[in-house]
Amino acid sequence: MRYRFSRAVLAAGVAFLATVPAHATDLEVTHWWTSGGEAAAVAEFAKAFDATGNKWVDGAIAGSGDTARPVMISRITGGDPMGATQFNHGRQAEELVQEGLMRDFTELAAKENWTGLINPPTLLQNCTLDGKIYCVPVNIHSWQWIWLSNKAFADAGVPVPKNWDEFVAAGPALEKAGKIPLAMGKQAWQQSGALNVLMAAIVGPETFLKVYKDKSADVAGGPEIAKVFKAADDARKLAAKSNVQNWNEATAMVIGGQAGGQIMGDWAQGEFQVAGQVAGKDYTCLPGLGLNAVIATGGDAFYFPKLDDPEKSKAQEALASVLMSKEAQVAFNLKKGSLPVRGDVDLTTANDCMKKGLEILAAGKTMQWTDELISPDTTQQMNDLMSEFFSTPSLTAEAAQARFAEIIGAAD
Amino acid sequence: MADRTRPSGLFKNVNAKIASIPMILTALCVFLGGTLWTVVYSFTDSKLLPRLRFVGLDQYERLWSAPRWLVSIENLAVYGVLSLILSLVIGFVLAALLDQKIRFENTFRTIFLYPFALSFVVTGLVWQWILNPQFGIQHIVRSLGFESFTFDPLYNADIVMYGILIAGLWQGTGLVMCLMLAGLRGIDEDIWKAARVDGIPMWKTYLFIVIPMMRPVFITTLVIITSGIVKLYDLVVAQTGGGPGNASEVPAKYVYEFMFRAQNLGQGFAASTMMLLSVAIIIIPWAYLEFGGKRRG
Amino acid sequence: MASPAVFASSAGVEPHGPRPRRAISRRNVIVYGTLLVVAIYYLLPLYVMVVTSLKGMPEIRLGNIFSPPVEITFEPWVKAWATACTGLNCDGLSRGFWNSVRITVPSVIISIAIASVNGYALANWRFKGSETFFAILIFGAFIPYQVMLYPIVIILREIGLYGSLWGLVIVHCIFGMPILTLLFRNYFTSVPEELFKAARVDGAGFWGIYLKIMLPMSLPIFVVALIIQITGIWNDFLFGVVYTRPDTYPMTVQLNNIVNSVQGVKEYNVNMAATLLTGLVPLVIYFISGKLFVRGIAAGAVKG
């Protein structure tokens, strides 16, 4: 049994034959995946890694990246690094790489043809600095969704909207029926996330990139983005009575039919699944808010600090191969509810909404997202601005947009 | 006494000096060194890792133009003043009540003190729950028939700091009460007798005779309460996460988030330098007056 | 002021207020009434925690957090202790319990030993600059821990203790030092000078006086220090998670992982049980040493 399982994993990466150590090497892996579904997903990686004859030592720290990241950075700079660690790919680990603290996997990537396998290619680009590959992307999460409660709209006697504009128009009817039109948690990342989703949907990826990639303060302060802030103003009014903090409490309101909809990433899907709801029947999902069905491909990646111990370095390579292997990718992503990074895997068991995402992905309608484009520092300033905007009705859309343009102008 | 307080040479008191090495190292290397290190790096544009690339006062300019920092300071001021006054008043009143030769003193004291054994994270979670409008106090009162009753401090930006204060006082007043009780027990019985003979009302005796005599207790208490206020972080994170919006942000949270979430160490250090500076301005002169003299028992 | 014999005896804990005359007087009603009302405010959260931890999830969803459990279940407690998951390790809080003990015991002993000697030196053997160091220590009490994370990483890296248990013990000693030193210094300052002088005349030195005279009369203040340190170190999360490795993570890290998992259904009953279990050690110490605590504080804090 054990033998057969190993073989299956081995088949995924040929390079790996040479790197399997003769005896078990412990490799500590830190991450912040601690909820039920997440832990089940990460267990798939651990199982596959253990099957190579090594041992996955789990270093989970809950409370999202904000609790875990100081630990990871302190350990790496303190000279006691772990074997591998999760980061959101993008710009979070940039400086650790520049300092030469992280291991480069260019060779392994070439041997296993990561460039050919990983879809969309931007995922690998985010791991690349000066032509060298420093991380292994493991999944794709997209933000650009609105989740609608079919029950809430039935109760209000209006049809389920097909896009954001219809949703806004249905707001008064929902309110009349005693519903909260838009459920939204009162945490800054959810509010600025909603703004970005609105932006991508309303003005399209091109203008979005002008703002976040070219950091054009003119565009950010211009008439196109004014439409986005107008929409954010609508969202603010629709969500005025939403009285929850966490995103999953907001999702619960959609599931229960007390709220019409929620703008949230595809991780919300797990909540609907747990509640036994069926996509299309109990709830509806609109990628790109039904306006612009383009999804961004953020997600998680693993980084590997440089280690002195050659045994452990070998084990790191083995882990990198496992993370990229077909079997581990499928097993992990089905549990996590995210999309796999390899273009060549088949997710027949995926549900309707997940399939919608896969189709968009296959059609190549993807875009870069803020994690990759702006620094965490700028993200933080955005978050602060949007949380103020959503909690302060007296802050007008115009004034908020002016401050937004200022932040973009100063961004690095 | 004079012979052992007046130093004359390095080898005088040599054992005391050797014994103080851990303290001296901590004071110099950690508290002073760490503070100077922080101040130096606050003038750099350090991002994820500390780097010496100086940018002058940029970080400070940005700090003082950030609405969130201003809100944080205002919140800490509101929380600090109220928490200080209420902790002292409640702590003292409870101590005075317990000092009335009552029965079950031990029971009451244990009840008031036990929250101190729980961490701020736990305190924050429990109170977040009790104050939650959906199933906490508001829900209960409404289900008793008062449909319009509203009590949702953690969800109302105007009063959210008071919601945090309720939990903070719950956790901290027990210790203050104990300190005060200890102080009251240190007051000589004869003073009470004399006051009674002179017919001075009880509240006057407390206010004008007992409290001034308890000055050292108040100082110890003050150090403990204020150091807790400055560090206020866990409670806010556990109860509101700084929300709604940025209505319950506090400086320590600003520091932490800019250091580790925004990965802008320079900004975080600038904010901590401002915090340390304000503490230093208050503490150092006061510490010299209070502890610096050659007074003894 | 008062003699050290006073602290050692129970004289320091006698109430001093006027003695109540009748069992039911207006004054008594006010006193006991106020105390009872306040006691309810203090007990309410504990009640909610205990009641919730004994309910099943379906009952919790009904939504009244104050109602007693219809059906008492100890399942959440068992789960919190033995099967709740932290990432891949599903052995609940039990995994961190001994780590917490291994961290707390040496940290408490060493930090108190150092701080008591500090306090003694500052009170009885002042030397040039000693008050300056003390002032810096007091300043240190106000430094938010988060600010010191990086400098401490660098210090521990340079002395080669990063990631080890002893590194963490040093960190706890450092951050416990200001308040403890303040308490010990105040306590030793109030020891009568005559005792000290007599010992000097007999030829006792720095350590001799500390061991033979000061230690035996300092039980109360040691109890105070013990309680403050056990509470602080046992409840610490930040240092425990940043300065150690996963195999030595304290219980609070598991608690954080159980309570802070954002996704999925929040199991409030398990959270509450885990919370109570984690707080049990300091709580038990409070309940058994409450009286000594007040006596010790009376001695340590009163005399400036």
Q: Is A96 helix (H, G, I), strand (E, B) or coil?
A: helix
Q: Does B33 touch chain C (CB under 8 A)?
A: yes
Contact C297/B179 with Cβ under 8 angstroms? yes
Judged by average pLDDT, the poorest of A128-142, A346-360, B198-212, C221-235 is: A346-360
Edge-first strand order for the sheet with A283-287 is A180-182, A259-263, A145-149, A283-287
β-pairing verdict for A132-133 and A128-129: antiparallel
| Residue A85, phi then psi, degrees to nearest 5 | -145, 145
Q: Are A88 and A301 in contact (CB under 8 A)?
A: yes
CA-nearest residue to C261 within chain A is: A35
**DSSP-derived pairing of the beta strands A145-149 and A259-263:** antiparallel
Query: Which tokens belong to C35?
Result: 């105390």
Inter-chain CB proximity A186 and B258 less than 8 Å: no
Distances (CA, A) of B176 to B87, C147, C198: 7, 27, 37
Q: How confident is the model at residue A89 (pLDDT cuts 50, 70, 90)?
A: low
Two structure tokens written together for B219: 């100082």
Query: If pLDDT is split at 50, 70 and 90, which confidence band does C22 have?
Result: low
pLDDT at position A273 is: 76
Q: Are C156 and A78 a contacting pair at CB < 8 A?
A: yes
Q: Where are the beta strands (DSSP E) in A46-97?
A: 55-60, 84-88
The rounded distance, in Å, linking the Cα atoms of B147 and B138 is: 9
Q: Which pair of tokens denotes residue C150?
A: 């990086």
For A99, the closest of B49, B155, B263 (CB atoms) is: B49
3-state secondary structure of B84: helix
pLDDT at A172: 94
Q: From the centroid of its chain, how far is CA B84?
A: 8
Find chain A residues with C-beta within 8 A of B47's C-beta: 95, 375, 377
Q: Write out the two tokens for A309.
A: 């111990």
Tokens found for residue B34? 């760490």
Please state, in angstroms and rounded to a whole number, the distance separating the CA atoms of residues B3 and A393.
70
Nearest-angstrom CA–CA distance, A384 and B267: 15
**Contact present, A78 and A373 (Cβ < 8 Å):** no
Picking from A33, A72, A73, A80 by the largest number of C CB atoms within 10 A of its own CB, the best residue to mutate is A80
| Residue C296 pLDDT | 67
Tokens of A265: 């990433």
> Which of C197-217 are b and which e, b meaning 16 or more Cβ less than 10 Å from the residue's Cβ?
eebeeeebebeebbeebbeeb
Q: Which residue of A has its CA nearest to B258?
A: A377
CB contact under 8 A, B67 and A245: no
Comparing C-alpha atoms, which of C261, C49, C268, C242 is closest to residue B123? Answer: C49
**Of the ranges A40-49, A66-75, A328-337, which is most confident?**
A40-49
pLDDT of amino acid C199: 86
Tokens of A78: 């303190």
CA distance C252 to A353: 38
Q: Which of C34, C128, C136 sits opposite B7 (nearest CB)?
A: C128
The phi and psi torsions of B145 (rounded to 5 degrees) equal: 115, -10
More reliable by pLDDT, C175 or A355: C175
**pLDDT tens digits along A329-344:** 988 887 777 888 887 8
Please state which of the ranges A114-118, B83-87, B216-220, C274-278 shows the lowest mean pLDDT.
B216-220
C143/B279 Cβ within 8 A: yes
Task: Give me the count of residues in chain C.
Answer: 304
Residue A41 contacts C where some CB pair is shorter than 8 Å: no
Q: Is B245–A387 a contact, with Cβ atoms under 8 angstroms apart? A: yes
In degrees to the nearest 10, what's the CA dihedral of C145, C150, C152, C154?
180
Residues counted in chain A: 412
Interface contact A252, partner C, CB < 8 A: no
Q: Do C146 and B252 lie within an 8 Å CB cutoff?
A: yes
Asked whether the beta carbons of residue C242 and residue A67 sit closer than 8 angstroms, the reply is: no
Neighbours of B5 (CB within 10 A): 15
DSSP 8-state symbol, C68: P
* Nearest-neighbour CA in chain A from C160: distance (Å): 9
In this structure, what token pair is assigned to residue B162? Answer: 């008071």
What residues pair up with A118 in beta bridges, in sequence order?
A: A342
Contacts of A187 in chain B (CB under 8 A): 241, 243
Phi, psi of A277 (to 5 degrees): -90, 150
Q: What is the mean pLDDT of residues A105-131?
A: 88
Please provide the CATH number assigned to the domain covering B62-291: 1.10.3720.10
pLDDT digits (tens, 9 = 90+) for A124-170: 888 888 889 999 999 888 899 999 999 999 999 999 999 999 999 99
**C237 chain-B contacts, CB cut-off 8 A:** 119, 121
Nearest by CB: B13 against C120, C125, C231: C125
Classify burial at A176, counting beta carbons within 10 Å of its beta carbon; exposed 0-12, middle 13-18, buried 19 or more: exposed
Beta strand A145-149 pairing with A283-287: antiparallel
What pLDDT is stored for residue C59 in this prediction? 81
For residue B263, list chain A residues with Cβ-Cβ distance below 8 A. Answer: 92, 95, 375-377
Asked whether C302 and C12 are in contact (CB, 8 A), the reply is no
pLDDT digits 0-9 by tens, A220-235: 999 999 999 999 999 9
Tokens 């609405």: give the residue.
Answer: B67
Reduced to 3 states (helix: H, G, I; strand: E, B; else coil), residue B100 is coil
Closest alpha carbon within chain C to B173: C42
Under 8 Å between Cβ of C275 and B125: yes
Cβ–Cβ < 8 Å for B127, B172: no
Does position A49 have pLDDT exceeding 90, yes or no? yes
Q: Is C293 within 8 Å of chain B by CB?
A: yes
DSSP A266: G
Q: Given an 8 Å threshold on Cβ–Cβ distance, is B230 in contact with C139?
A: no
Residue A1 has pLDDT above 60, yes or no: no
Contact criterion met (CB below 8 Å) for B42 and B270: yes
Question: B261 vs A376: CB contact, 8 Å cut-off?
Answer: yes
Collapsed DSSP state (helix, strand, coil) of residue A77: helix
In whole angstroms, how far apart are CA B269 and each of A52, B226, B266, C136? 45, 21, 5, 20
Nearest to C264 among A58, A74, A274 (CB): A274
Check CB contact under 8 Å for A391 and B246: yes
Q: Is B137 helix (H, G, I), strand (E, B) or coil?
A: helix
Average pLDDT of chain C, as a whole number: 81
Q: What single letter denotes the amino acid at residue B10?
A: L
pLDDT of residue B251: 93
Per-residue pLDDT tens digits for C69-128? 888 888 889 888 888 776 677 778 888 899 999 999 999 999 999 999 999 998 888 888
Chain B closest CA to C89's CA: distance in Å?
23
Residue A39: what pLDDT?
Answer: 81
> What confidence tier does C261 reach under pLDDT thresholds 50, 70, 90?
low
**Stated pTM of the model:** 0.84
Please give the pLDDT value at position B167: 93
* Cα dihedral: B254, B255, B258, B264 (round 10): 150
What is the per-residue pLDDT across C144-155, written as a single tens digit (0 to 9) for each? 888 888 889 889
Chains that touch A (3 or more CB pairs under 8 A): B, C
- How near does any CA of chain C get to the CA of A190, in Å? 14
Q: Residue C254 corresponds to which tokens in the numbers above?
A: 């598991």
ipTM of the complex: 0.81
Question: Interface partners of B (3+ CB pairs, < 8 Å)?
Answer: A, C
**Which residues, in sequence order, are CB contacts of A102 under 8 Å at separation 6+?**
A93, A96, A134, A135, A303, A304, A305, A306
Q: Is C288 exposed, middle or buried (0-12, 13-18, 19+ CB in 10 A)?
A: exposed
Report d(CA A264, CA A276) in Å as an integer. Answer: 19
Q: What is the pLDDT of residues C178-219, one digit of tens each?
A: 989 988 888 888 777 888 888 888 888 889 889 888 888 787
Mutation target to probe the A interface, by most A beta carbons within 10 A, among C153, C263, C265, C270 is C263
* Stretch A180-197: mean pLDDT: 91
Cis peptide before B244 (omega within 30 of 0): yes
Counted residue by residue, chain B has a size of 297
> Hey, what domains does chain A have and what are their CATH numbers?
2-141+298-342 (3.40.190.10), 145-296+366-410 (3.40.190.10)
Residues B134, B136, B140, B142, CA torsion sign: negative
Q: List CB contacts (< 8 A) between B241 and chain A.
A: 187, 245
- Closest Cβ–Cβ partner in C246, C260, C263 for A59: C246
Residue B136: its chain C contacts at CB < 8 A? Answer: 65
Helices (H), B200-264: 202-204, 211-213, 215-230, 234-239, 251-256
CB A292 within 8 A of CB A205: yes
Mean pLDDT, consecutive 10-residue stretches, chain B (297 aa), reads 48 82 91 93 89 91 92 94 95 90 83 86 84 82 83 85 94 87 80 88 88 82 89 87 84 89 90 91 76 49
**Residue of B37, B135, B291 with shortest CB distance to C63:** B135
Q: What would the pLDDT profile of B17-30 be if each residue is shown by its tens digit? A: 888 899 999 999 99
A78/C157 CB distance under 8 A: yes
d(CA C248, CA A192): 38
Q: How confident is the model at residue C298 (pLDDT cuts 50, 70, 90)?
A: low
Rounded to the nearest 10 degrees, what angle do helices B265-291 and C130-140 cross at? 130
Q: What is the mean pLDDT of chain A?
A: 86
For A241, phi then psi, to 5°, come to -95, 0
Range A288-307 average pLDDT: 89
Interchain CB distance below 8 Å, B13 and C140:
no
Task: Write down the H helix ranges in C71-190.
Answer: 75-78, 94-124, 130-140, 145-158, 165-189
Sorting pLDDT into bands at 50, 70 and 90, what band is A216?
very high
| Spatial CA neighbour of A383 closest among B124, B264, C264 | B264
Separation of alpha carbons A34 and A29, rounded Å:
13
Task: Report d(CA C300, CA C304) in Å as an integer.
Answer: 9
Look at A95 and B241 and tell me if their CB atoms are within 8 Å.
no
C134 strand-pairing partners = none
A293 in C contact zone (CB under 8 Å): no
Q: Can you read off the two tokens belonging to residue B108?
A: 């009451």
Q: Do C127 and B7 touch (CB under 8 A)?
A: yes
3-state secondary structure of C275: helix
Question: CA-nearest residue of chain A to C260?
Answer: A63
Q: How confident is the model at residue A10 (pLDDT cuts 50, 70, 90)?
A: very low
pLDDT at A390 over 60: yes
Rg of chain B in Å (alpha carbons): 24
Chains contacting C (3+ CB pairs below 8 angstroms): A, B
Domains of chain C: 16-78 (no CATH), 94-302 (1.10.3720.10)
Task: Quote the pLDDT of residue B242.
Answer: 82
Test B117 with C189 for CB contact under 8 angstroms.
Answer: no
- Cβ contacts of A241 within 8 Å, gap of 6 or more: A180
Which pair of structure tokens corresponds to residue A75? 């350990």
Contact A245 B240 (CB under 8 A): yes
Indicate if the pLDDT at residue C287 is higher than 70: yes
Annotate A214-244 with DSSP letters as a single string.
Answer: S--HHHHTSHHHHHHHHHHHHHHHHTTT--B
